[in-house]
Amino acid sequence: MLKTEYDVVIVGGSHAGLSAAMALGRMRRSVLICDDSRPRNQISSHANNIAGSDGVSPEKWRQQARHDLEKYKTIQLINATVHKVEKRQLQFHVELSSKEVVHARKIILAHGIQDKLPDVTGFQELWGKSVFHCPYCHGFEVQDQRLGVVGSGAYVEHMLPMILGLSKDVMVFTNGASDLSKDFVTALKKKQIPLIQSPIACLGYEGQKLQFIEFKNHPRIERDALFVGPQLPISMRVNFDKQLGLEKNEMGLYKVAEMGRTNIAGVLAAGDIVTLQQSVVNAVSSGQSAGAWATFELLSEDFHQF
Ligand SMILES: Cc1cc2nc3c(=O)[nH]c(=O)nc-3n(C[C@H](O)[C@H](O)[C@H](O)COP(=O)(O)OP(=O)(O)OC[C@H]3O[C@@H](n4cnc5c(N)ncnc54)[C@H](O)[C@@H]3O)c2cc1C
């Protein structure tokens, strides 16, 4: 049964949202977590680079985190999509997919991002299996294999040296015209790292394993795994920025100050939506900070009210 008033409504109940809730729950604030169960890493069987839980199943991690919250009786979690958040004077009106409306003094946005992959057969199918976004998360598992970096410009220039730390057999695929710097292209030549600029026609695979890349105007190349850059600006499912007047940066992420404070008083943001350093641990950390700041504001406001 929903209440009509909460101290905080959290949009998104995954790494960032559940961590924010824990901080609030431990300080006995009333919290409603709204989550519609579409976390970004749900496609993966293992989540890596998490000290203490390395290789944990993402679903198990979330189940455990939800279980941990059960003892905090001021926290309520519901399966719902938040459609609209509106600020009316000092309160937020939050509209759920069920058409119910709840009110909150603070909002924590922890709704994650939407991955946009090249619109080419194979990328979506192999996402999280042989096509990856992050070498820290999945690079160790494909070390010394035949790897590729797909993208152009700053992403490739940043990512290639890291992927070369995992394997000597790495190629660069720009999937069409590239904007790589002259210096970088010269370095590729010197190091004899192949640069293929042809558009990609499709990825060939068996089961969940990449076999080869088919190009529009280059012979097929065999590869075992690819790392793909994000398509900027980052996409989000609901335009809370427009609804609330939130500022975003040039990458499409919410602009936040320390502790996840946005430009709108009372609205905090955490997790993948505030950084390109997108990982479970970073989301947990920024979620906890947002939860702590919301707690501080709530209790300070109460203290100063006569
Ligand atoms: C394929 C893949 C594999 C990855 N592997 C790793 C790894 O091994 N290690 C690692 O550290 N990181 C990994 N990551 C990154 C990691 O998944 C993210 O950094 C992390 O999930 C971010 O957590 P979050 O809470 O910000 O967002 P998410 O985990 O994406 O959760 C957002 C939640 O908000 C909900 N939501 C969204 N909009 C609404 C709405 N309007 N109303 C209600 N609910 C909403 C969603 O349903 C979802 O449950 C991986 C990412 C991908 C894509």
Q: Does 284 score more than 90 pLDDT?
A: yes
CA of residue 113 to ligand 1 center, whole Å:
7
For ligand 1, whether the C-beta of 128 sits within 6 Å is yes
Q: Does 152 score more than 90 pLDDT?
A: no
Question: Rounded to whole angstroms, how far apart are CA atoms 49 and 140?
Answer: 10
> pLDDT tens digit string along 194-203?
999 999 999 9
Instruction: Point out the ligand 1 atom lying closest to the alpha carbon of residue 15.
Output: 25
Question: Rounded to whole angstroms, how far apart are CA atoms 37 and 12?
Answer: 8
For ligand 1, whether the C-beta of 291 sits within 6 Å is no
ipTM for this model? 0.99
For ligand 1, whether the C-beta of 96 sits within 6 Å is no
Inter-CA distances, 214 with 120, 121, 147, 287, Å: 10, 10, 15, 41
H or E element, residue 136: helix 135-138
Per-residue pLDDT at 306:
82
For ligand 1, whether the C-beta of 48 sits within 6 Å is yes
CATH of 123-228 among 3.50.50.60, 1.10.3720.10, 3.30.70.980, 3.30.499.10? 3.50.50.60
CA of residue 212 to ligand 1 center, whole Å:
28
For ligand 1, whether the C-beta of 133 sits within 6 Å is yes
Average pLDDT estimate for 30-40:
97
For ligand 1, whether the C-beta of 63 sits within 6 Å is no
Q: Does 65 score more than 90 pLDDT?
A: yes
Delimit the CATH 3.50.50.60 region(s) of the chain.
Answer: 5-115+232-303, 123-228
**What would the two tokens of residue 279 be?**
């990982």
For ligand 1, whether the C-beta of 112 sits within 6 Å is yes
β-sheet bridge partners, residue 11: 34, 109
CATH of 5-115+232-303 among 3.20.20.70, 3.40.50.300, 3.40.50.2030, 3.50.50.60? 3.50.50.60
- Pair 92, 105: CB distance under 8 Å: yes
Residue 273 DSSP code: G
Per-residue pLDDT at 89:
86
Q: Which of 79, 280, 289 to mutate to test the pocket of ligand 1 (most atoms within 8 A of CB)?
A: 280
